[in-house]
Chain A
Protein backbone atom coordinates (compact mmCIF):
# COMPACT_ATOMS: atom_id res chain seq x y z
CA UNK A 1 0.00 0.00 0.00
CA UNK A 2 2.76 2.37 0.92
CA UNK A 3 4.78 1.77 -2.21
CA UNK A 4 2.28 3.43 -4.52
CA UNK A 5 4.45 6.49 -4.88
CA UNK A 6 7.61 4.42 -5.00
CA UNK A 7 6.60 3.01 -8.36
CA UNK A 8 6.62 6.41 -9.96
CA UNK A 9 9.79 7.59 -11.58
CA UNK A 10 10.64 10.97 -10.17
CA UNK A 11 10.24 10.79 -6.41
CA UNK A 12 13.95 11.59 -6.02
CA UNK A 13 14.59 14.25 -3.47
CA UNK A 14 10.98 15.34 -2.85
CA UNK A 15 10.43 13.35 0.37
CA UNK A 16 13.65 14.83 1.77
CA UNK A 17 12.48 18.30 0.82
CA UNK A 18 9.12 17.70 2.51
CA UNK A 19 10.62 16.55 5.81
CA UNK A 20 13.51 19.03 5.80
CA UNK A 21 11.81 21.93 7.67
CA UNK A 22 11.61 19.87 10.84
CA UNK A 23 15.25 18.83 10.72
CA UNK A 24 16.56 22.28 9.88
CA UNK A 25 14.55 23.94 12.65
CA UNK A 26 15.28 21.20 15.17
CA UNK A 27 19.03 21.39 14.58
CA UNK A 28 19.11 25.17 14.97
CA UNK A 29 16.62 25.66 17.81
CA UNK A 30 16.69 22.27 19.54
CA UNK A 31 19.89 20.27 19.20
CA UNK A 32 22.41 23.09 19.07
CA UNK A 33 21.15 24.78 22.28
CA UNK A 34 21.04 21.42 24.06
CA UNK A 35 24.71 20.69 23.31
CA UNK A 36 25.52 24.28 24.10
CA UNK A 37 23.84 23.92 27.49
CA UNK A 38 26.17 21.02 28.34
CA UNK A 39 29.15 23.29 27.72
CA UNK A 40 27.54 26.20 29.54
CA UNK A 41 27.07 24.03 32.63
CA UNK A 42 30.86 23.69 32.93
CA UNK A 43 31.41 27.45 33.04
CA UNK A 44 30.92 30.13 35.63
CA UNK A 45 28.90 32.28 33.31
CA UNK A 46 27.12 35.38 34.51
CA UNK A 47 24.92 37.38 32.20
CA UNK A 48 25.63 40.69 33.86
CA UNK A 49 29.03 42.20 34.59
CA UNK A 50 32.01 42.30 32.29
CA UNK A 51 33.68 39.15 33.58
CA UNK A 52 34.27 36.58 30.88
CA UNK A 53 32.91 33.05 31.35
CA UNK A 54 35.34 30.98 33.37
CA UNK A 55 35.77 27.22 32.99
CA UNK A 56 35.04 25.51 36.29
CA UNK A 57 34.63 21.89 35.21
CA UNK A 58 32.10 20.16 37.42
CA UNK A 59 32.19 23.13 39.80
CA UNK A 60 28.59 24.16 39.19
CA UNK A 61 27.31 20.64 39.80
CA UNK A 62 29.36 20.24 42.98
CA UNK A 63 28.31 23.66 44.21
CA UNK A 64 24.63 22.93 43.63
CA UNK A 65 24.72 19.46 45.18
CA UNK A 66 26.89 20.21 48.21
CA UNK A 67 26.38 23.85 49.15
CA UNK A 68 23.01 24.94 47.88
CA UNK A 69 20.16 24.47 50.37
CA UNK A 70 17.70 26.00 47.90
CA UNK A 71 18.35 23.26 45.37
CA UNK A 72 17.58 20.49 47.84
CA UNK A 73 14.57 22.34 49.18
CA UNK A 74 13.33 22.77 45.61
CA UNK A 75 13.92 19.08 44.79
CA UNK A 76 12.07 18.01 47.93
CA UNK A 77 9.15 20.32 47.09
CA UNK A 78 9.04 18.98 43.56
CA UNK A 79 8.95 15.37 44.72
CA UNK A 80 6.22 16.14 47.27
CA UNK A 81 4.13 17.87 44.59
CA UNK A 82 4.88 15.02 42.21
CA UNK A 83 3.19 12.65 44.67
CA UNK A 84 0.33 14.87 45.86
CA UNK A 85 -0.28 16.63 42.56
CA UNK A 86 0.78 14.53 39.60
CA UNK A 87 0.61 10.94 40.85
CA UNK A 88 -2.36 11.13 43.24
CA UNK A 89 -4.62 12.03 40.36
CA UNK A 90 -4.28 8.57 38.82
CA UNK A 91 -6.13 7.22 41.88
CA UNK A 92 -8.96 9.62 41.04
CA UNK A 93 -8.84 9.40 37.25
CA UNK A 94 -9.12 5.59 37.09
CA UNK A 95 -12.28 5.26 39.25
CA UNK A 96 -13.72 8.26 37.42
CA UNK A 97 -13.10 6.59 34.07
CA UNK A 98 -14.64 3.34 35.36
CA UNK A 99 -17.71 5.25 36.54
CA UNK A 100 -18.16 7.03 33.22
CA UNK A 101 -17.57 3.81 31.33
CA UNK A 102 -20.29 2.03 33.30
CA UNK A 103 -23.19 0.89 31.16
CA UNK A 104 -25.66 2.62 33.48
CA UNK A 105 -24.29 6.09 32.70
CA UNK A 106 -25.80 8.11 29.88
CA UNK A 107 -24.22 11.34 28.67
CA UNK A 108 -20.67 9.99 28.63
CA UNK A 109 -19.63 12.73 26.22
CA UNK A 110 -20.95 15.44 28.54
CA UNK A 111 -18.96 14.19 31.51
CA UNK A 112 -15.87 13.53 29.40
CA UNK A 113 -16.02 17.06 28.01
CA UNK A 114 -16.60 18.81 31.32
CA UNK A 115 -13.74 16.97 33.01
CA UNK A 116 -11.42 17.77 30.11
CA UNK A 117 -12.02 21.52 29.98
CA UNK A 118 -9.51 22.45 32.75
CA UNK A 119 -6.73 20.81 30.75
CA UNK A 120 -6.99 23.39 27.97
CA UNK A 121 -7.22 26.44 30.24
CA UNK A 122 -4.16 28.60 30.65
CA UNK A 123 -2.28 28.15 33.90
CA UNK A 124 -2.57 31.86 34.66
CA UNK A 125 -6.36 31.74 34.57
CA UNK A 126 -6.45 28.61 36.70
CA UNK A 127 -4.09 29.98 39.33
CA UNK A 128 -5.82 33.37 39.51
CA UNK A 129 -9.19 31.79 40.12
CA UNK A 130 -7.89 29.31 42.69
CA UNK A 131 -6.12 32.19 44.40
CA UNK A 132 -9.53 33.80 44.90
CA UNK A 133 -11.22 30.56 45.95
CA UNK A 134 -8.50 29.97 48.57
CA UNK A 135 -8.30 33.57 49.80
CA UNK A 136 -7.94 33.65 53.58
CA UNK A 137 -10.70 36.13 54.39
CA UNK A 138 -13.00 36.04 51.41
CA UNK A 139 -12.42 32.71 49.68
CA UNK A 140 -15.12 30.15 49.02
CA UNK A 141 -13.08 27.37 50.63
CA UNK A 142 -12.67 29.08 54.00
CA UNK A 143 -16.30 30.21 53.82
CA UNK A 144 -17.41 26.59 53.46
CA UNK A 145 -15.03 25.43 56.18
CA UNK A 146 -16.58 28.10 58.43
CA UNK A 147 -19.84 26.10 58.50
CA UNK A 148 -18.25 23.07 60.09
CA UNK A 149 -15.42 24.58 62.12
CA UNK A 150 -15.04 27.61 64.35
CA UNK A 151 -11.26 27.46 64.33
CA UNK A 152 -8.93 30.13 62.98
CA UNK A 153 -9.07 30.67 59.24
CA UNK A 154 -6.51 28.70 57.28
CA UNK A 155 -4.02 30.99 55.58
CA UNK A 156 -3.79 28.93 52.40
CA UNK A 157 -1.56 31.24 50.42
CA UNK A 158 0.64 32.54 53.24
CA UNK A 159 1.69 29.32 54.96
CA UNK A 160 3.95 26.62 53.61
CA UNK A 161 1.48 23.78 54.15
CA UNK A 162 -1.36 25.74 52.55
CA UNK A 163 0.69 26.62 49.47
CA UNK A 164 1.41 22.93 48.87
CA UNK A 165 -2.26 22.06 49.29
CA UNK A 166 -3.41 24.72 46.83
CA UNK A 167 -0.76 23.71 44.27
CA UNK A 168 -1.76 20.06 44.60
CA UNK A 169 -5.43 20.94 44.16
CA UNK A 170 -4.62 23.00 41.06
CA UNK A 171 -2.53 20.20 39.53
CA UNK A 172 -5.17 17.58 40.20
CA UNK A 173 -7.99 19.75 38.93
CA UNK A 174 -6.13 20.63 35.75
CA UNK A 175 -4.88 17.21 34.69
CA UNK A 176 -7.38 14.63 35.99
CA UNK A 177 -9.58 15.04 32.91
CA UNK A 178 -6.74 14.31 30.52
CA UNK A 179 -5.74 11.15 32.39
CA UNK A 180 -9.38 10.15 32.63
CA UNK A 181 -9.80 10.28 28.84
CA UNK A 182 -6.71 8.12 28.37
CA UNK A 183 -8.01 5.55 30.87
CA UNK A 184 -11.46 5.63 29.31
CA UNK A 185 -9.93 4.68 25.95
CA UNK A 186 -8.02 1.92 27.72
CA UNK A 187 -11.16 0.60 29.42
CA UNK A 188 -13.04 0.47 26.15
CA UNK A 189 -10.31 -1.72 24.69
CA UNK A 190 -10.65 -4.44 27.38
CA UNK A 191 -12.43 -7.48 25.88
CA UNK A 192 -15.91 -8.04 27.33
CA UNK A 193 -15.39 -11.79 27.54
CA UNK A 194 -13.04 -11.31 30.48
CA UNK A 195 -15.83 -9.79 32.54
CA UNK A 196 -18.41 -12.31 31.36
CA UNK A 197 -16.28 -15.15 32.68
CA UNK A 198 -16.01 -13.39 36.04
CA UNK A 199 -19.77 -12.83 36.08
CA UNK A 200 -20.34 -16.57 35.79
CA UNK A 201 -18.04 -17.06 38.77
CA UNK A 202 -20.15 -14.51 40.65
CA UNK A 203 -17.32 -12.05 41.31
CA UNK A 204 -18.19 -8.70 42.92
CA UNK A 205 -17.58 -5.58 40.88
CA UNK A 206 -14.71 -4.45 43.12
CA UNK A 207 -13.12 -7.89 42.73
CA UNK A 208 -13.56 -7.68 38.95
CA UNK A 209 -11.88 -4.29 38.76
CA UNK A 210 -8.98 -5.41 40.93
CA UNK A 211 -8.33 -8.65 39.10
CA UNK A 212 -9.32 -7.71 35.54
CA UNK A 213 -9.47 -3.96 34.99
CA UNK A 214 -6.27 -2.89 36.74
CA UNK A 215 -4.01 -5.59 35.24
CA UNK A 216 -5.44 -4.83 31.80
CA UNK A 217 -4.82 -1.11 32.29
CA UNK A 218 -1.25 -1.64 33.50
CA UNK A 219 0.49 -0.59 30.25
CA UNK A 220 -1.59 2.59 30.17
CA UNK A 221 -0.92 3.26 33.85
CA UNK A 222 2.79 2.91 33.15
CA UNK A 223 2.56 5.35 30.27
CA UNK A 224 0.40 7.82 32.21
CA UNK A 225 2.71 7.73 35.23
CA UNK A 226 5.74 8.22 32.98
CA UNK A 227 4.14 11.36 31.50
CA UNK A 228 3.20 12.55 34.99
CA UNK A 229 6.80 12.17 36.13
CA UNK A 230 8.13 14.08 33.12
CA UNK A 231 5.52 16.81 33.56
CA UNK A 232 5.62 16.88 37.35
CA UNK A 233 9.39 17.32 37.51
CA UNK A 234 9.05 20.37 35.26
CA UNK A 235 6.32 22.16 37.25
CA UNK A 236 7.09 25.87 37.08
CA UNK A 237 4.15 27.98 35.97
CA UNK A 238 1.72 27.09 38.76
CA UNK A 239 3.99 27.98 41.72
CA UNK A 240 5.54 30.92 39.86
CA UNK A 241 2.17 32.59 39.33
CA UNK A 242 0.66 31.55 42.67
CA UNK A 243 3.57 33.00 44.63
CA UNK A 244 3.83 36.13 42.46
CA UNK A 245 6.96 35.74 40.41
CA UNK A 246 10.63 35.41 41.26
CA UNK A 247 10.87 37.83 44.18
CA UNK A 248 9.43 35.59 46.87
CA UNK A 249 11.01 32.38 45.54
CA UNK A 250 7.98 30.23 46.14
CA UNK A 251 6.35 32.03 49.06
CA UNK A 252 6.52 31.22 52.77
CA UNK A 253 9.59 29.09 53.58
CA UNK A 254 10.09 28.63 49.82
CA UNK A 255 7.41 25.97 49.98
CA UNK A 256 6.33 26.63 46.39
CA UNK A 257 9.88 26.65 45.04
CA UNK A 258 10.12 23.73 42.61
CA UNK A 259 13.22 22.51 40.79
CA UNK A 260 12.24 24.06 37.46
CA UNK A 261 11.25 27.27 39.27
CA UNK A 262 14.70 27.39 40.87
CA UNK A 263 16.29 26.77 37.48
CA UNK A 264 14.36 29.70 36.01
CA UNK A 265 15.20 31.85 39.02
CA UNK A 266 18.91 31.05 38.76
CA UNK A 267 19.03 31.79 35.05
CA UNK A 268 16.61 34.66 34.55
CA UNK A 269 16.63 36.43 37.90
CA UNK A 270 20.11 35.76 39.28
CA UNK A 271 21.50 35.63 35.71
CA UNK A 272 23.80 32.70 36.50
CA UNK A 273 23.62 30.78 33.26
CA UNK A 274 26.25 28.15 34.04
CA UNK A 275 24.70 27.17 37.34
CA UNK A 276 21.24 27.24 35.77
CA UNK A 277 22.36 24.83 33.04
CA UNK A 278 23.83 22.49 35.66
CA UNK A 279 20.48 22.48 37.51
CA UNK A 280 18.70 21.70 34.23
CA UNK A 281 20.86 18.62 33.66
CA UNK A 282 20.43 17.47 37.26
CA UNK A 283 16.64 17.65 36.87
CA UNK A 284 16.98 15.69 33.65
CA UNK A 285 18.92 12.94 35.46
CA UNK A 286 16.24 12.76 38.16
CA UNK A 287 13.54 12.37 35.50
CA UNK A 288 15.45 9.50 33.90
CA UNK A 289 16.01 7.84 37.29
CA UNK A 290 12.34 8.12 38.31
CA UNK A 291 11.22 6.72 34.99
CA UNK A 292 13.59 3.82 35.55
CA UNK A 293 11.89 3.17 38.90
CA UNK A 294 8.49 3.37 37.19
CA UNK A 295 9.63 0.76 34.67
CA UNK A 296 10.95 -1.55 37.39
CA UNK A 297 7.72 -1.38 39.38
CA UNK A 298 5.61 -1.99 36.29
CA UNK A 299 7.77 -4.99 35.31
CA UNK A 300 7.36 -6.40 38.79
CA UNK A 301 3.58 -5.97 38.71
CA UNK A 302 3.39 -7.61 35.31
CA UNK A 303 5.09 -10.52 37.06
Chain B
Protein backbone atom coordinates (compact mmCIF):
# COMPACT_ATOMS: atom_id res chain seq x y z
CA UNK B 1 0.00 0.00 0.00
CA UNK B 2 2.64 2.46 1.09
CA UNK B 3 5.10 1.56 -1.67
CA UNK B 4 2.42 2.04 -4.31
CA UNK B 5 1.98 5.62 -3.10
CA UNK B 6 5.72 6.20 -3.33
CA UNK B 7 5.80 4.80 -6.86
CA UNK B 8 2.84 6.96 -7.83
CA UNK B 9 4.54 10.02 -6.43
CA UNK B 10 7.80 9.20 -8.22
CA UNK B 11 5.97 8.76 -11.51
CA UNK B 12 4.17 12.06 -11.04
CA UNK B 13 7.43 13.93 -10.45
CA UNK B 14 9.08 12.12 -13.34
CA UNK B 15 6.36 13.15 -15.76
CA UNK B 16 6.24 16.72 -14.51
CA UNK B 17 10.04 16.85 -14.62
CA UNK B 18 10.13 15.69 -18.24
CA UNK B 19 7.49 18.23 -19.17
CA UNK B 20 9.35 21.01 -17.36
CA UNK B 21 12.48 20.02 -19.27
CA UNK B 22 10.66 20.08 -22.60
CA UNK B 23 9.39 23.56 -21.78
CA UNK B 24 12.70 24.91 -20.50
CA UNK B 25 15.20 23.36 -22.91
CA UNK B 26 14.45 25.60 -25.95
CA UNK B 27 15.20 28.65 -23.80
CA UNK B 28 18.53 27.23 -22.71
CA UNK B 29 19.27 26.40 -26.34
CA UNK B 30 18.71 30.02 -27.41
CA UNK B 31 21.48 31.19 -25.08
CA UNK B 32 23.82 28.32 -25.95
CA UNK B 33 23.57 29.02 -29.67
CA UNK B 34 24.10 32.75 -29.16
CA UNK B 35 27.66 31.98 -28.06
CA UNK B 36 28.75 29.86 -31.03
CA UNK B 37 30.51 31.41 -34.04
CA UNK B 38 28.10 31.95 -36.92
CA UNK B 39 29.35 29.16 -39.17
CA UNK B 40 29.27 26.64 -36.32
CA UNK B 41 25.75 27.23 -35.02
CA UNK B 42 24.37 24.34 -37.05
CA UNK B 43 26.40 21.28 -36.20
CA UNK B 44 25.87 17.60 -35.71
CA UNK B 45 25.67 16.57 -32.92
CA UNK B 46 23.89 19.76 -31.79
CA UNK B 47 25.49 22.03 -29.19
CA UNK B 48 24.59 21.45 -25.58
CA UNK B 49 27.18 23.77 -24.03
CA UNK B 50 28.37 27.32 -24.51
CA UNK B 51 30.93 28.32 -27.16
CA UNK B 52 33.32 31.25 -27.61
CA UNK B 53 31.85 33.35 -30.40
CA UNK B 54 29.86 35.89 -28.41
CA UNK B 55 31.93 38.98 -29.24
CA UNK B 56 32.09 38.18 -32.96
CA UNK B 57 28.35 37.49 -33.05
CA UNK B 58 27.73 40.88 -31.50
CA UNK B 59 29.86 42.56 -34.17
CA UNK B 60 27.91 40.69 -36.83
CA UNK B 61 24.59 41.62 -35.24
CA UNK B 62 25.22 45.36 -35.15
CA UNK B 63 26.48 45.44 -38.74
CA UNK B 64 23.63 43.40 -40.22
CA UNK B 65 20.71 45.19 -38.57
CA UNK B 66 20.54 48.56 -36.79
CA UNK B 67 20.27 46.62 -33.54
CA UNK B 68 20.61 49.65 -31.27
CA UNK B 69 17.83 51.50 -33.08
CA UNK B 70 15.57 48.44 -33.05
CA UNK B 71 16.14 47.92 -29.35
CA UNK B 72 15.47 51.61 -28.68
CA UNK B 73 12.23 51.46 -30.72
CA UNK B 74 11.02 48.33 -28.94
CA UNK B 75 11.79 49.81 -25.55
CA UNK B 76 10.36 53.25 -26.37
CA UNK B 77 7.10 51.90 -27.77
CA UNK B 78 6.69 49.47 -24.89
CA UNK B 79 7.37 52.11 -22.23
CA UNK B 80 5.12 54.76 -23.79
CA UNK B 81 2.33 52.20 -24.11
CA UNK B 82 2.79 51.06 -20.54
CA UNK B 83 2.70 54.54 -19.01
CA UNK B 84 -0.32 55.69 -20.98
CA UNK B 85 -2.25 52.46 -20.48
CA UNK B 86 -1.70 52.62 -16.73
CA UNK B 87 -2.88 56.22 -16.58
CA UNK B 88 -5.97 56.05 -18.79
CA UNK B 89 -7.14 52.61 -17.69
CA UNK B 90 -6.87 53.42 -13.98
CA UNK B 91 -8.83 56.61 -14.60
CA UNK B 92 -11.59 54.79 -16.49
CA UNK B 93 -11.56 51.86 -14.06
CA UNK B 94 -12.05 54.32 -11.17
CA UNK B 95 -15.10 55.82 -12.87
CA UNK B 96 -16.67 52.43 -13.62
CA UNK B 97 -15.93 51.06 -10.15
CA UNK B 98 -16.86 53.97 -7.92
CA UNK B 99 -19.29 56.29 -9.69
CA UNK B 100 -22.96 55.81 -10.43
CA UNK B 101 -23.82 57.55 -13.66
CA UNK B 102 -26.33 57.27 -16.48
CA UNK B 103 -25.44 54.54 -19.00
CA UNK B 104 -22.68 53.25 -16.73
CA UNK B 105 -23.66 49.60 -17.22
CA UNK B 106 -24.19 49.99 -20.95
CA UNK B 107 -20.86 51.71 -21.43
CA UNK B 108 -19.05 49.08 -19.35
CA UNK B 109 -20.69 46.31 -21.35
CA UNK B 110 -19.52 48.03 -24.52
CA UNK B 111 -15.92 48.10 -23.22
CA UNK B 112 -16.02 44.39 -22.39
CA UNK B 113 -17.71 43.45 -25.68
CA UNK B 114 -15.08 45.34 -27.68
CA UNK B 115 -12.51 42.79 -26.52
CA UNK B 116 -14.25 40.05 -28.51
CA UNK B 117 -13.67 41.75 -31.87
CA UNK B 118 -10.90 39.94 -33.76
CA UNK B 119 -7.96 42.21 -34.50
CA UNK B 120 -7.70 41.46 -38.20
CA UNK B 121 -11.17 42.79 -39.05
CA UNK B 122 -10.11 46.42 -39.16
CA UNK B 123 -6.49 45.95 -40.12
CA UNK B 124 -6.73 47.02 -43.79
CA UNK B 125 -8.64 50.30 -43.25
CA UNK B 126 -6.54 50.95 -40.15
CA UNK B 127 -3.40 50.70 -42.24
CA UNK B 128 -4.79 53.09 -44.83
CA UNK B 129 -5.74 55.50 -42.09
CA UNK B 130 -2.22 55.44 -40.69
CA UNK B 131 -0.85 56.16 -44.17
CA UNK B 132 -3.14 59.18 -44.42
CA UNK B 133 -2.18 60.36 -40.91
CA UNK B 134 1.49 60.10 -41.92
CA UNK B 135 2.06 57.81 -38.94
CA UNK B 136 3.83 54.99 -40.83
CA UNK B 137 7.34 54.40 -39.50
CA UNK B 138 6.59 56.33 -36.29
CA UNK B 139 5.81 55.03 -32.80
CA UNK B 140 2.36 56.64 -32.79
CA UNK B 141 0.20 53.91 -34.41
CA UNK B 142 1.57 51.35 -31.95
CA UNK B 143 0.98 53.52 -28.89
CA UNK B 144 -1.98 55.87 -29.39
CA UNK B 145 -4.83 53.51 -30.43
CA UNK B 146 -4.28 51.24 -27.42
CA UNK B 147 -3.67 53.94 -24.80
CA UNK B 148 -6.96 53.23 -23.02
CA UNK B 149 -7.27 49.52 -23.81
CA UNK B 150 -10.41 47.59 -22.86
CA UNK B 151 -8.50 44.83 -21.07
CA UNK B 152 -6.78 47.36 -18.80
CA UNK B 153 -10.08 49.03 -17.98
CA UNK B 154 -11.58 45.66 -17.11
CA UNK B 155 -8.62 44.79 -14.89
CA UNK B 156 -8.64 48.12 -13.04
CA UNK B 157 -12.42 48.17 -12.60
CA UNK B 158 -12.31 44.70 -11.04
CA UNK B 159 -9.51 45.69 -8.71
CA UNK B 160 -10.87 49.08 -7.64
CA UNK B 161 -14.38 47.72 -7.06
CA UNK B 162 -13.05 45.24 -4.54
CA UNK B 163 -10.13 46.97 -2.91
CA UNK B 164 -10.72 50.71 -2.90
CA UNK B 165 -12.64 51.43 0.32
CA UNK B 166 -15.48 53.85 -0.29
CA UNK B 167 -15.08 55.50 3.14
CA UNK B 168 -11.58 56.58 2.13
CA UNK B 169 -13.08 58.38 -0.85
CA UNK B 170 -15.78 59.85 1.38
CA UNK B 171 -13.18 61.13 3.82
CA UNK B 172 -11.14 62.64 1.00
CA UNK B 173 -14.21 64.44 -0.23
CA UNK B 174 -14.98 65.84 3.22
CA UNK B 175 -11.39 67.07 3.30
CA UNK B 176 -12.24 69.05 0.18
CA UNK B 177 -10.55 67.03 -2.56
CA UNK B 178 -12.17 67.26 -5.98
CA UNK B 179 -12.71 64.36 -8.37
CA UNK B 180 -9.41 64.84 -10.10
CA UNK B 181 -7.62 65.31 -6.77
CA UNK B 182 -9.06 62.03 -5.51
CA UNK B 183 -7.89 60.28 -8.65
CA UNK B 184 -4.35 61.61 -8.37
CA UNK B 185 -3.86 61.58 -4.60
CA UNK B 186 -5.94 58.58 -3.46
CA UNK B 187 -6.70 56.22 -6.34
CA UNK B 188 -3.29 56.11 -8.00
CA UNK B 189 -1.32 55.40 -4.81
CA UNK B 190 -3.82 52.77 -3.62
CA UNK B 191 -4.08 51.02 -6.98
CA UNK B 192 -0.36 50.35 -7.25
CA UNK B 193 -0.48 46.52 -7.10
CA UNK B 194 -3.01 46.34 -9.94
CA UNK B 195 -1.16 49.05 -11.87
CA UNK B 196 1.98 46.93 -11.64
CA UNK B 197 0.14 43.90 -13.05
CA UNK B 198 -1.35 45.94 -15.88
CA UNK B 199 1.95 47.68 -16.60
CA UNK B 200 3.99 44.50 -16.84
CA UNK B 201 1.40 42.75 -18.98
CA UNK B 202 1.22 45.76 -21.30
CA UNK B 203 5.00 45.97 -21.56
CA UNK B 204 5.34 42.29 -22.41
CA UNK B 205 2.54 42.46 -24.98
CA UNK B 206 4.07 45.47 -26.67
CA UNK B 207 7.58 44.02 -26.61
CA UNK B 208 6.33 40.86 -28.33
CA UNK B 209 4.00 42.56 -30.80
CA UNK B 210 4.89 41.41 -34.30
CA UNK B 211 2.04 41.98 -36.74
CA UNK B 212 1.66 45.65 -35.78
CA UNK B 213 5.24 46.77 -36.45
CA UNK B 214 5.45 44.41 -39.45
CA UNK B 215 2.76 46.44 -41.23
CA UNK B 216 3.23 49.87 -39.70
CA UNK B 217 7.03 50.11 -39.43
CA UNK B 218 8.35 48.79 -42.76
CA UNK B 219 11.65 50.70 -42.58
CA UNK B 220 14.35 48.70 -40.86
CA UNK B 221 15.62 51.70 -38.86
CA UNK B 222 12.10 52.44 -37.66
CA UNK B 223 11.05 48.94 -36.73
CA UNK B 224 11.21 46.89 -33.55
CA UNK B 225 13.35 43.93 -32.53
CA UNK B 226 10.97 41.08 -33.43
CA UNK B 227 10.47 42.40 -36.98
CA UNK B 228 14.19 43.08 -37.48
CA UNK B 229 14.90 39.53 -36.29
CA UNK B 230 12.38 38.06 -38.69
CA UNK B 231 14.10 39.93 -41.55
CA UNK B 232 17.44 38.53 -40.44
CA UNK B 233 15.85 35.08 -40.19
CA UNK B 234 14.51 35.12 -43.74
CA UNK B 235 17.90 35.92 -45.28
CA UNK B 236 19.66 32.94 -46.81
CA UNK B 237 22.85 33.05 -44.88
CA UNK B 238 25.56 30.70 -43.69
CA UNK B 239 26.38 32.91 -40.75
CA UNK B 240 23.67 32.44 -38.14
CA UNK B 241 25.55 33.96 -35.22
CA UNK B 242 23.95 37.38 -35.51
CA UNK B 243 20.47 35.85 -35.60
CA UNK B 244 21.08 33.62 -32.60
CA UNK B 245 22.52 36.44 -30.51
CA UNK B 246 19.76 38.83 -31.58
CA UNK B 247 17.23 36.23 -30.53
CA UNK B 248 18.87 35.81 -27.14
CA UNK B 249 18.98 39.57 -26.57
CA UNK B 250 15.28 39.90 -27.47
CA UNK B 251 14.41 37.12 -25.06
CA UNK B 252 16.64 38.15 -22.17
CA UNK B 253 14.66 41.20 -20.92
CA UNK B 254 11.47 39.13 -20.91
CA UNK B 255 13.03 36.33 -18.92
CA UNK B 256 14.45 38.80 -16.40
CA UNK B 257 11.05 40.46 -16.02
CA UNK B 258 9.38 37.08 -15.71
CA UNK B 259 11.76 35.86 -13.02
CA UNK B 260 10.92 38.85 -10.86
CA UNK B 261 7.24 39.30 -11.66
CA UNK B 262 5.94 35.86 -12.68
CA UNK B 263 3.11 36.08 -10.14
CA UNK B 264 1.85 39.41 -11.46
CA UNK B 265 2.23 38.32 -15.08
CA UNK B 266 0.34 35.07 -14.63
CA UNK B 267 -2.44 36.69 -12.63
CA UNK B 268 -2.73 39.55 -15.11
CA UNK B 269 -2.75 37.44 -18.25
CA UNK B 270 -5.29 35.00 -16.90
CA UNK B 271 -7.42 37.60 -15.09
CA UNK B 272 -10.37 37.61 -17.46
CA UNK B 273 -10.41 33.86 -17.84
CA UNK B 274 -10.08 32.84 -14.21
CA UNK B 275 -12.84 35.15 -13.04
CA UNK B 276 -15.09 34.73 -16.06
Interchain CB contact under 8 A, A181 and B42: no
Interchain CB contact under 8 A, A227 and B273: yes
Known: A15-B99, A34-B117, A113-B262. A4 touches B167 (CB 8 A): yes
- Interface extent on A, as a size class? 35 or more
Return B95 CB to nearest CB of chain A, in Å.
4
Residues from chain B with a CB closer than 8 A to the CB of A287 are 118
Interchain CB contact under 8 A, B12 and A122: no
Return B250 CB to nearest CB of chain A, in Å.
6
Within 8 A of B (CB), among A1-18: 1-8, 10-11, 14-16, 18
Interchain CB contact under 8 A, A104 and B12: yes
Interchain CB contact under 8 A, B95 and A19: yes
Which of B58-66, B189-197, B227-235 is found at the contact surface with chain A?
B227-235
Please tell me which one of the listed residues A32, A104, A234, A244 contacts residue B120 in the complex, with CB atoms under 8 A apart: A234
Please tell me which one of the listed residues B16, B46, B99, B147 contacts residue A111 in the complex, with CB atoms under 8 A apart: B16
Return B13 CB to nearest CB of chain A, in Å.
7
Residues from chain B with a CB closer than 8 A to the CB of A72 are none
Interchain CB contact under 8 A, B12 and A120: no
B266 within 8 A of A: yes
Return B263 CB to nearest CB of chain A, in Å.
8
A77 within 8 A of B: no
Interchain CB contact under 8 A, B107 and A276: no
Interchain CB contact under 8 A, A34 and B44: no
Residues from chain A with a CB closer than 8 A to the CB of B210 are 122-124, 237, 241
B136 within 8 A of A: no
Interchain CB contact under 8 A, B26 and A129: yes
Known: A33-B129, A129-B26, A132-B33. A5 touches B98 (CB 8 A): yes
Bound-state Cα–Cα, A169 to B24, Å: 14
A121 within 8 A of B: yes
In this complex, what residue of B is CB-closest to A18? B95
Residues from chain B with a CB closer than 8 A to the CB of A56 are none
Within 8 A of B (CB), among A105-155: 105, 110-133, 135, 137-140, 143
Bound-state Cα–Cα, A33 to B150, Å: 17
Return A158 CB to nearest CB of chain B, in Å.
14
Return B90 CB to nearest CB of chain A, in Å.
9
Bound-state Cα–Cα, A162 to B135, Å: 40
A273 within 8 A of B: yes
B101 within 8 A of A: yes
Interchain CB contact under 8 A, A241 and B230: yes
B220 within 8 A of A: no
Interchain CB contact under 8 A, A100 and B233: no
Please tell me which one of the listed residues B8, B117, B153, B273 contacts residue A22 in the complex, with CB atoms under 8 A apart: B153
A215 within 8 A of B: no
Interchain CB contact under 8 A, A132 and B41: yes
B255 within 8 A of A: yes
Known: A4-B98, A125-B247, A281-B121. A115 touches B19 (CB 8 A): yes
Residues from chain A with a CB closer than 8 A to the CB of B5 are 104
Residues from chain B with a CB closer than 8 A to the CB of A220 are 273
Please tell me which one of the listed residues A100, A178, A233, A267 contacts residue B270 in the complex, with CB atoms under 8 A apart: A178
Interchain CB contact under 8 A, B46 and A277: no
Interchain CB contact under 8 A, B121 and A37: yes
Interchain CB contact under 8 A, B120 and A138: no
Within 8 A of A (CB), among B155-189: 161, 166-167, 169-170, 173, 178-180, 183
Residues from chain A with a CB closer than 8 A to the CB of B119 are 234
Cβ proximity bits A241-268 to B, threshold 8 Å, 1 near / 0 not: 1001100000000000000100110011
Known: A120-B258, A123-B208, A138-B46. A283 touches B120 (CB 8 A): yes
